[in-house]
Amino acid sequence: MQASAQPAYVLHSRAYRESSALVDLLTPQGRLRAVLRGARGKAGTLARPFVPLEVELRGRGELKNVARLEAAGVPNLLSGAALFSGIYLNELLIRLLPVEDPHPALFEHYALTLQALAVNPPLEPLLRAFEWRLLDELGYGFALDHDLSGLPITPVGLYRLQPDAGLEPVSQLQPGLFQGADLLAMAQADWSSPGALAAAKRLMRQALAPHLGGRPLVSRELFMNLKEPARD
């Protein structure tokens, strides 16, 4: 199969045989897996997360070979909470995005999110926006301004999420509900609304959980450990 150049980011890399690496790549053509030979040389120094790359791949099967790998821009230097956020995005993509399922718009959104993370902005809005975009691209999205019956969300209403269906109005208070005002703020990306960001985090966790299965996200656990105060 003829190699063709395309932009890419490394989501994950691990040693393979004596001097090669197995890499998970995000490209406009989707998540691709490839063998990078000579990973201890120059190519190996480039094959790390958050670096914009240009890659040429060969092979017809699911596991391809890297024919060429070059830097295609300035690396996104992430540190602290931004670094763990980037690792979280990568893990989401590896866990949820099928191999060889093209999502060019998601690739562009990922690239812009990394650029934003590199300048240390408020993290939560960026993470919620990416989670929402990922769900929508995979066909799991739902309306935030209408319930699952098509009726408008009311600011004073209470709602619960029915995964893969949408928001269902409820009349009695119970755990895990969402206030209509917070949902409407999310729909407008109005993070100045009190409680909207916290509600968005809960909503995205509920929406992602059925697709992640029972395995916890390693990056989430690492991030929680980062935030815990040091103990004597």
Residues 109 and 215 in one domain: yes
pLDDT interval class at 223 (50, 70, 90): low
Q: What is the CATH number of the domain that holds 92?
A: 1.20.1440.120
Among all chains, which residue has been given the structure tokens 């490209």?
A: 27
Residues 39 and 93 in one domain: no
Tell me the percentage of the chain whose pLDDT exceeds 70.
94
Dig out the tokens for 42 from the structure: 């120059």
Give me the chain's average pLDDT, please. 90
Residues 189 and 93 in one domain: yes
Name the 3-class secondary structure at 173: coil
Residues 181 and 210 in one domain: yes
Residues 61 and 94 in one domain: no
pLDDT of 201 reads: 95
Which is higher by pLDDT, 176 or 167? 167
Contact (CB, 8 A) for 41 and 59 = no
Residues 113 and 172 in one domain: yes
Tally of domains in the chain: 2
| Domain enclosing residue 33, as ranges | 5-71
Instruction: Kindly report the backbone phi and psi dihedral angles of residue 184, in degrees, each rounded to the nearest multiple of 5, phi listed first.
Output: -70, -35
Considering the domain boundaries, does residue 202 fall inside one? yes
Residues 136 and 39 in one domain: no
Considering the domain boundaries, does residue 232 fall inside one? no
Q: Report, as an integer, the average pLDDT of 132-148.
A: 95
Q: Report, as an integer, the average pLDDT of 21-45.
A: 88
Q: Which amino acid is at 108?
A: E
Q: Pairing mode, if any, of strands 20-27 and 5-16? A: antiparallel
pLDDT interval class at 225 (50, 70, 90): low
Contact (CB, 8 A) for 147 and 123 = no
Considering the domain boundaries, does residue 64 fall inside one? yes
Residues 15 and 63 in one domain: yes
Instruction: Kindly report the backbone phi and psi dihedral angles of residue 161, in degrees, each rounded to the nearest multiple of 5, phi listed first.
Output: -90, 125
Residues 91 and 174 in one domain: yes
Residues 104 and 143 in one domain: yes
pLDDT interval class at 224 (50, 70, 90): low
pLDDT interval class at 3 (50, 70, 90): low
Domain boundary residue among 71, 102, 120?
71
Structural Rg of the chain based on CA atoms = 20
Listed range (7-11, 70-74, 111-115) with the worst mean pLDDT:
70-74
Name the 3-class secondary structure at 146: strand
Whole-angstrom distance, CA of residue 188 vs CA of residue 48: 35
pLDDT interval class at 132 (50, 70, 90): very high
| CA-angle at 131, arms to 64 and 218, nearest 5° | 70
Residues 91 and 27 in one domain: no
Tell me the percentage of the chain whose pLDDT exceeds 90.
71
Query: Facing residues of 8 across strands?
Result: 53
pLDDT of 60 reads: 82
Contact (CB, 8 A) for 139 and 98 = no
Decide if pLDDT at 115 tops 90. Answer: yes
Q: Report, as an integer, the average pLDDT of 138-142.
A: 94
